[in-house]
Structure 1
Amino acid sequence: MTLTSEEKEIILNSIRDIPDFPKPGIIFKDISTLLSNPAAFNTLMDHLTNRYLGYELDYIAGIDARGFIFGAILADRLGIGFVPVRKKGKLPYTTVAEKYSLEYGFDEVEIHIDAFVAKDNPDGKGAKVLLIDDLIATGGTAKAAANLIDRVGAHCVEACFVMELGFLKGREGISAPVYSVLQID
């Protein structure tokens, strides 16, 4: 399922640009205006729901923190579980972590070691998981999150983003197919 050009415009026009945030030269894509616009938000969520209905997913994994919003709502609409991919030190149980590069240094994301339990396989091996976040830029966090899903024995069937900054080539190296609702080049 693809969005019409009118639907893309509804979503794109609801996202606010904030120049020089968090530092000079960066144009931050603020999704808070998308979240507060019921027409745009429902257009997006209806599209994602229709796209993933036939995937027979077991879980949606959302990346901390904005991926939690889209992921939890989509999981509810699809009648499946939601799993948070958190920044290091935020989960209370035994976790698996994955480092990724930042402009200056490294960061880590993690999930619970038993996050995915397949419907027909209680140890979670082979659970079909959709990874979701609001934006993919350089792709470090998304690559780490997709790797985590696979490391615990589940299968990341696709990585989905509301928006992709294509000129940064963040999708390269992600271990799953990538789908972006909006592409900015």
Structure 2
Amino acid sequence: MSYDEFYVKSVIRSLPDWPEPGVLFRDITPIFKDPRALRMVADAFIHRYVDTGITHIACIDARGFLFGSILAHQLNLPLVLVRKKGKLPGDTIHQEYKLEYGSAAVEMQSDSVGAGDRVLLFDDLIATGGTILAACTLIKKLGAEVVEAAALIDLPDLKGSALIQEAGVPVYTLLAYEGA
């Protein structure tokens, strides 16, 4: 682990039993109060994607928006939003996915991306992978290619990153927490 990764990990809070008993929540909000940590995270992703030929950054509601907007600005790329169903105006498409108990859905505006677009999909954390896989389905339905799914944190014990890779989408995360 590099010094930057160690520093960023030291800023992230681990909150036991939130939002429910038995869950160890990885709280990234302190990164936004620490300009040094935020710069380290932003720089790591900017350097990774600066010369990759991606044409769009899609980010997932809501914490993915925070990092995605920084990347889009710094890389001078369009930013497209993947939101919870019912939150975007205009013509949209949606995709349902399973949760541990029940289901949820995400949506994108129908004109967000199209044929020939090469999309980086960004979220703050990969747990079970359901949200990212649903977003990948939407992007592909619109005719674009998902070049990579990226996140600040991976929880590999929950096997989401493995499921995303099995679906043919490369995954990159800056940090991993074993024993989610």
Q: How does 1:11-50 map to 2 (within 5 A)?
A: 11-50=8-47
2:167 counterpart of 1:177: no
The corresponding residue for 1:148 is: 138
1:160 is aligned, of 144, 150, 167, to 150
The corresponding residue for 1:127 is: 117
How many angstroms apart in 2 are the aligned matches of 1:155 and 1:166?
A: 24
The corresponding residue for 1:89 is: 86
| Structure 1 segments of 4+ aligned residues over 6 angstroms from their partners | none
What is the aligned-residue RMSD (CA, Å)? 0.9
How many angstroms apart in 2 are the aligned matches of 1:104 and 1:169?
A: 17
Which TM-score applies when normalising by structure 2? 0.95
One-letter code aligned to 1:182: L
The corresponding residue for 1:119 is: none
One-letter code aligned to 1:112: Q
Which structure dedicates a bigger proportion of its chain to helix? 2
Q: Give the Å deviation of 1:157.
A: 0.2
2:104 counterpart of 1:110: no
2:128 is aligned, of 127, 138, 150, to 138
Higher mean C-alpha displacement, 88-97 vs 171-180: 171-180
Q: Give the Å deviation of 1:172.
A: 2.8
How many angstroms apart in 2 are the aligned matches of 1:181 and 1:5?
A: 10
1:59 is aligned, of 35, 56, 59, to 56
The corresponding residue for 2:77 is: 80
How many angstroms apart in 2 are the aligned matches of 1:15 and 1:37?
A: 10
How many angstroms apart in 2 are the aligned matches of 1:129 and 1:152?
A: 11
Higher mean C-alpha displacement, 174-183 vs 153-162: 174-183
For this pair of structures, how many residues does the alignment match?
A: 175
How many angstroms apart in 1 are the aligned matches of 2:162 and 2:6?
A: 26
| Unaligned ranges ≥5, structure 2 | none
2:94 counterpart of 1:101: no
Q: Give the Å deviation of 1:147.
A: 1.2
| Unaligned ranges ≥5, structure 1 | 117-123
Q: Give the Å deviation of 1:126.
A: 1.6
